[in-house]
Amino acid sequence: MSSPELAIRLRRADFNRALAEGDVAAIGPILAPDVVLVTGTDSAVLSGRKAQLLAWKREFAAKERALYTRTPESITPSPVEPIAMEQGKWIAIGAQHGEPVASGIYSAKWRQVGADWVIEAEIYLTLA
């Protein structure tokens, strides 16, 4: 496993842990300031770190909260730039009943900034 691949897998694990724990503060450093997220069902666009953190804060406070997990299947580092593409599967589990409420596939573009990898863009597709 390449060094960028390992670093991104570790950052994704940190993101998944922050989602499970409802830790907005831990999510912030994983996102680029101008990060873009396109949701899986209605293709809503969350533009910027602040917008995404506000959305997560609302999600964590929701009565019917879902627990999201992203599982990378492949990470392809660029040989010419400090960027990489992650592709994998995602699932949302209802926190109260433990049953899946949605799932699908995703792609995420990462960029190395200093020693850290941050997410620049994510796009989700709901399949179930």
Give 87-124 pLDDT, tens digit per residue. 999 999 998 899 999 999 999 999 999 999 999 999 99
What ranges do the domains of the chain cover?
Answer: 3-126
**DSSP secondary structure, 82-95, as one string:** SEEEEEEEEEEEET
Dump pLDDT digits (tens) for 57-69. Answer: 999 999 999 999 9
Q: Which run of H or E residues covers position 67?
A: strand 66-77
Give the separation between CA 21 and CA 9, rounded to whole angstroms. 18
Please give the model's pTM, rounded to 2 decimal places: 0.94
Please, are residues 69 and 91 in contact by the beta-carbon 8 Å criterion? Answer: yes
Domain spanning 3-126, CATH class:
alpha beta
pLDDT digits (tens, 9 = 90+) for 20-38: 999 999 999 999 999 999 9
Count the neighbouring beta carbons within 10 Å of the beta carbon of residue 17.
12
